Amino acid sequence: SQQGEEDPQALSIQEGENATMNCSYKTSINNLQWYRQNSGRGLVHLILIRSNEREKHSGRLRVTLDTSKKSSSLLITASRAADTASYFCATDAGGTDKLIFGTGTRLQVFP
């Protein structure tokens, strides 16, 4: 069964705006990761946040983690058309050796 649910399922914004995606998961975790996938391509790792961290930044990306609510958010600031892709959260499903992906958010950034 899926570990993570993401919302929104789809998001359309203009270049320069910020994009926020949310992820909720079901079991305890050691870490949570975010990946990006351009249409029909492989996934690219964006950022990993450990269960004892609350916030992490990488360039225009900001990730938060709230383990009490079992949720995470990914914020992309000053979005660009090149950010158009699907974004997935992924967790280690209760400290197992599996990385399980959430349902994903399809982001469209219009120039």
Partner 1 sequence: DTEVTQTPKHLVMGMTNKKSLKCEQHMGHRAMYWYKQKAKKPPELMFVYSYEKLSINESVPSRFSPECPNSSLLNLHLHALQPEDSALYLCASSQEVVNTGELFFGEGSRLTVL
Please pick, from the candidates 12, 57, 95, 110, the single residue that binds partner 1 as defined by CB under 8 A: 95
- Distance between CA 38 and CA 77 in Å, rounded? 18
- Distance between CA 54 and CA 46 in Å, rounded? 16
Residues between 6 and 35 that touch partner 1 (CB under 8 A): 30-31, 33, 35
Q: Would you say 80 or 98 has its CB closer to partner 1?
A: 98
CB neighbours of 70 closer than 8 A, spacing ≥ 6?
Answer: 24, 25, 26
Total Cβ atoms within 10 A of residue 80: 12
Site string for partner 1, 44-83 (x = CB under 8 A): xx--x-----------------------------------
In the complex, the residues that contact partner 1 under the rule CB under 8 A are 2, 30-31, 33, 35, 40-45, 48, 88, 92, 95, 97-104, 106
